[in-house]
Structure formats: C-alpha cells, structure tokens
Amino acid sequence: MSLKAREILGEDPEVFFAESRYEFISRILPKVLKGEKPLTLSDLLDRVFLNKYVGIPIFLAFWWALFRFTFDVSAPLSDLIDILFSWLGEVSSSVIADEQLASFVADGIFGGLGGVLVFLPPIFFLFFGLSLLEDSGYLARAAFVVDRLMYKLGLHGKSFIPMLIGFGCNIPGVMATRTIDREEDRILTILINPLMSCSARLPVYLLIGGAVLGPYAAAGTYTMYILGIVLAVLMALLFRRTIPYFKGKPSPFILELPMYSRPVFKSTLIHMWERGSLFLRKAGTIILAGIIVVWFLSSYPWGAPLEETYLAILGHSLEPIFRPLGFDWRGAVGLFFGFIAKEIVVGSFAVIFGLGEESEMGEIQETIRSQGVFTPLTGLAFMAFTLIYIPCVATLGIIYRETNSWKWTLFSVIYGLILAYITSLAIIWIGQGLGYK
C-alpha cells in the first residue's frame, strides 16, 4: 500500500501529508486572523536561507568564510605557540647534561607536542565559528535546506546534525545518531560519520597544505571538508543500494526551526571551550604517548642514522604499499601512527626530522618542501588519505559501543582503507593526466 501511495504521490506519503497540512494551515490562517501579519526580519531571512535554489550555495559560502576566519585570525597565536615551544626546546637542551634525556625532552616532548599544540588556535576558532552559527539559529536551517537532497540520496534528515557535529569530533558525532529512530538509518549514519573531517585532521591539512600548496593552502583544506561530505553522501547511496540491510527509503525528517537570536558572547565561549578542551585532553594523554613512542623508535639504536632506526625499518616495510600514491617511508609512518590519533601525524614529522629542538612550524614545512617528501599533488593525496582512512582508536571504540557489533566496526575499518587508497590514487592519476606532479 505504501509503495503504491509513493508511486501516486511522487514522494513519501508521510512527507506529502505533512507538507499538505502546513499548506492547508497557511491558507486558513489569513482567513481567521484579523489584520495582515507584518513581514518580520525572521521571515525575510528564512525566505533567503531556506530557498531551495540559493540555500545550499549560501551554506557553502558560510562554510568557506568560517575557514578563512579560522586561518587568518589564528595565525598570530599559532606563531606565538611555535616560538614558545622552540624556546623551551632550546632551554631544555642547554641545561640537561644527559644527551639522551635532552633529546627526549627537547625533540620528543617539546618538539613533537609543540608541533601539535601549534594548531590549538585554529581548532578553537573553528569551534567558535560553529558556535556562532549554532547559537544564531542558522545551523538548524542548514539542516532543513539539505534535507530534501539528503533524502533523495538515501540519508535521513537527522543525519545532518551528527555529520555537522562530526566536523568537531567524530566521537560525539557518532553518539548523536541516537536521535535517529530507525536502526538502519542510524547505523548508516554511524558508518559515514568518520568521513566528516574532524578537528584532529585539521593540523595535518594545515601542515601539509602550508608546506606544498602555498597560497592555495586554505583552498586545499576547504576541499578536504567538501570531499568528506561528497564521499559520505556517495557511500550512503552505495550502501543503501547494495547492502540488503539498508534497502529502502529513510524515514521522513520533521524539524522545528528555532527562533533567530543574537549569540551571547559568554555562551559562545563556553561552547568553544567545551569542544576544544577535548583536543587539549587528547594532547596531554594519548597524543603525547604516541609521540613518545615515535621519538623512541626514531632515536634507537642510539646514535644510528635515521635511516637505520627502528622507525625507518617500520617505514620501509610499509613503503611499498604507499609508493603508488607517492608517499615515502616517512609518510607511511605518519599514517601508521595516525591510527592512534590523527594529530600524531604532525608530531611524527616533527620528531622524524629532528626539528623539535630549535624549530618553528615553518621550518618543518620548509623541510618537507626541501627534502621532497611531498609535491603539491602527492601532498593533496596525503591529505585525502588522512581524511578517509581508519578512524582513531577512540572513534572505533564508540562505533562498537553504539552498534554493539564487531561486524559493523570492522566494516568501517575495511571500507575506509579501501576508499582512502582508491581516492588518493585517483587524485594522483587525474593530477598526472592534467600535467601536475
């Protein structure tokens, strides 16, 4: 019956009747209310933001402005953190007599951890901008605008909110899928949520993009966020059509739009801190532990050249897998340890190059350029691989807890690796076909 009704109506019956009710209400209200309802500022804004033709371009424009704001405003603060950790590295190496301990403190801790914390300002400013959009009432309207498109592509309208949250961190993004009633829609949203470019990937984009993309670094970073959205939609469509468990249309999405409001600065700061502090906690625990492991592997056997260390042995064993993508053993090592936490990719490069003692982030980027670790093309492919491949350990734990299934958890790992490799390889082939290197 429902299939026949969908054929006759041309869309889901629940959506059709919900829209019909609101159309009927709109016709009745002018007849029963005295006087003409004045056109408010909220009405005018909704006519623009909710327009089916310009709504999505406006959303993309807001997203681009957010990243320009994130880059430009945070740059001076990042430079200050860079200078601070470089100075701490110099001081520690000069006052600690033991050579190995001095290397551990200067290169392992201050060099590796400083290479990650330098991205703290852009991450906080990203959350600040997101909080402004959310508190103003615009994000709910963005969800409404993209709902029809998402529905046609096999995603539930409520999937948009967990996907937006995933831009901050995939962990709360996966947990936010609890608001989706239908189990199949919920698990599908969980599987594609890691494709949302969380704040942990941002340091990698900034490092690699700044090193090889030059003035196009911001555009490269923005491209990664758009790529994540596109891939999430495509994978949802593919899963919906090929995996029997997900067959069928998602359930309708009904959302009550909040009133527009002027964001309260104190409230926005609180939201920024609550979300950004997660990065600080990770930096002080799991990221620091991972960087220490990288330092140890890159320093021992003690006194040996970098090419003969345990880290190089690990990297060279992985290098044949990544050679078709243009990544050498250093890139392979970064991706390997990025499985623990994506921020460790940045710390790995800082430790590998041994630049933690007296360096700034610009020096790490200059080393990447001078040593030919990446070209603009392979750097873009590396950024894409970082976006797509295995979620961090913590996210995998949440995926298992929310799905209560090792099958879906393992599936998210396998399809992520395959998709990352295919996408990065496609970037290389297309780029080479266009004459880029």
Confidence of residue 1 (pLDDT cuts 50, 70, 90): very low
Name the percent of the chain in helix, strand, coil, to the closest 5: 80, 0, 20
pLDDT tens track for 158-201:
677 778 777 777 877 787 787 677 788 889 889 999 998 887 78
Tallying the residues shown for the chain, one arrives at 437
**If pLDDT is split at 50, 70 and 90, which confidence band does 358 have?**
very low
DSSP 320-352: HHHGGGT--HHHHHHHHHHTT-TTHHHHHHHHH
CB 343 within 8 A of CB 203: yes
Q: Tell which residue, 391, 373, 249, has the closest CA to residue 322.
A: 373
Cα distance between residue 330 and residue 316, in whole Å: 9
Q: Specify the pLDDT at position 385.
A: 95
pLDDT tens-digit readout, 216-233: 888 888 899 899 988 988
pLDDT at 357 over 50: no
Q: Report pLDDT digits (tens) over 241-296.
A: 888 888 766 555 566 677 888 888 888 888 888 777 766 676 566 667 767 777 77
Distance, in Å, from the CA atom of 39 to the CA atom of 319, rounded to the nearest integer, reads: 63
Considering 139-148, 215-224, 345-354, the range whose residues carry the highest mean pLDDT is 215-224
Measure the CA dihedral 322/325/328/329, to 10°: -20
Which residue type does 192 have?
I
Residue 4 CA to its chain's centroid (Å): 41
Q: What is the pLDDT of residue 15?
A: 63
- How far is 138 from 258, CA to CA, in rounded Å? 9
* 24 Cα distance to chain centroid: 42
Q: How confident is the model at residue 407 (pLDDT cuts 50, 70, 90)?
A: very high
Tell me the pLDDT tens digit for each residue of 104-127. 787 767 766 666 677 678 778 877
Give, for 30, the enclosing helix (H) or strand (E): helix 13-32
Residue 434 Cα distances to 213, 277, 427, 429, 431, angstroms: 17, 43, 11, 9, 5
Q: Considering only residues 38 and 125, tell me which one the structure prediction assigns the higher pLDDT.
A: 125
pTM of the model: 0.68
- Say if residue 143 is exposed, middle or buried (CB neighbours under 10 Å; 0-12, 13-18, 19+): buried
